[in-house]
Amino acid sequence: MAQTVICVKWGTRYPATYVNCLWAMIRRNTKRDTRLVCFTDDPVGVHPDVITQPIPEVRLPPEKATQTWRKLTFWQEGVEYLSGDLLFLDLDVVITGSIDAFFDFKPEATFCVIENWTQVGQKIGNTSVFRFRVGAHTYIYDQVQADPEGVVRRYANEQTYISRIVTSMEYWPAEWCVSFKHSLMPIWPLNFFQTAKLPSETKVVCFTGHPDPDEARDGIWPAPWYKRIYKHVRPTPWIAENWRED
């Protein structure tokens, strides 16, 4: 049976190029039969080999419906292509190593996730990259459906909510998933003179906020003028080598 990776694309922040780059990176970084299922509200332009599906419903307060809370929909049962152990990848990641290890890691675990780089030791997972077993933690979805206003009021974001109520959570080895901003960027003012380096053990580089992968590739960090005194990134060639559609 094929390994299944899923992603979600809604709104206009990330165009189809991001899905196609993700699919190309998956193909280059696996030795196994692997499929990508993209849940999206707009499949136009997505590579024909990527399976596209409508985003499953999740009841949320209107102001949260276009935020990462929407990812909670994947914790429910009964959705086509959601079965077994699945690997979720955010669209704004760069895959630089084999993803097969994510499927092999602690096979008994029902939820594996990044330990959030900015909250180490606080038992908070970062859901840019996680593996979960469909049906093992449906209460995550059920609780937010029962009281969406209350849940979003109590928790800062979707990954904090999951981390606080999930009954079992395993972290990936820290070197597998790194943050471009928090792990790789040289500190100020060295970021004006040095390029972010890619560690050899890294499998996935995550981009939170700006810069996005294509921005960091080109040395662009969108920011108000008064923040550009410290928000600066040099063009990063290893992103171009990995983040591409072919």
Q: What confidence score (pLDDT) does residue 87 get?
A: 98
Nearest-angstrom CA–CA distance, 99 and 32: 10
Mean pLDDT, residues 216-221? 97
User: Which two tokens mark 27?
Assistant: 């193909």
Task: Write the pLDDT tens digit of every residue in 65-107.
Answer: 889 999 999 999 999 999 999 999 999 999 999 999 999 999 9
Q: At how many degrees (to 10) do helices 158-165 and 139-146 cross?
A: 120
Mean pLDDT, residues 123-139? 98
Q: List alpha helices for 60-211, DSSP H.
A: 100-104, 139-146, 148-154, 158-165
Q: C-alpha angle with apex 100: 97 to 101, nearest 5 degrees?
A: 80
pTM value is 0.96
Q: How confident is the model at residue 246 (pLDDT cuts 50, 70, 90)?
A: very high
Q: What confidence score (pLDDT) does residue 65 get?
A: 85
Structural domain boundaries in the chain: 3-171, 177-242
Q: Is the dihedral of CA 150, 151, 157, 163 positive or negative?
A: positive
Mean pLDDT, residues 225-242? 96
Q: What confidence score (pLDDT) does residue 30 get?
A: 98
Q: What confidence score (pLDDT) does residue 66 get?
A: 86
Task: Write the pLDDT tens digit of every residue in 13-57.
Answer: 999 999 999 999 999 999 999 999 999 999 999 999 999 999 999
User: Which two tokens mark 244?
Assistant: 């591409």
157 has pLDDT over 90: yes
pLDDT, averaged across the chain: 96
The residue among 145, 144, 147, 138 whose CA lies nearest residue 167 is: 138
Q: Report the helix count and the strand count for the chain, using DSSP H and E.
A: 7, 10
Residue 132's beta-bridge partner residues? 86, 111
Question: Percent of the chain scored above 90 by pLDDT?
Answer: 96
109 has pLDDT over 90: yes
The CATH class of 3-171 is alpha beta
Nearest-angstrom CA–CA distance, 120 and 129: 16
1 has pLDDT over 90: no
Mean pLDDT, residues 173-182? 98
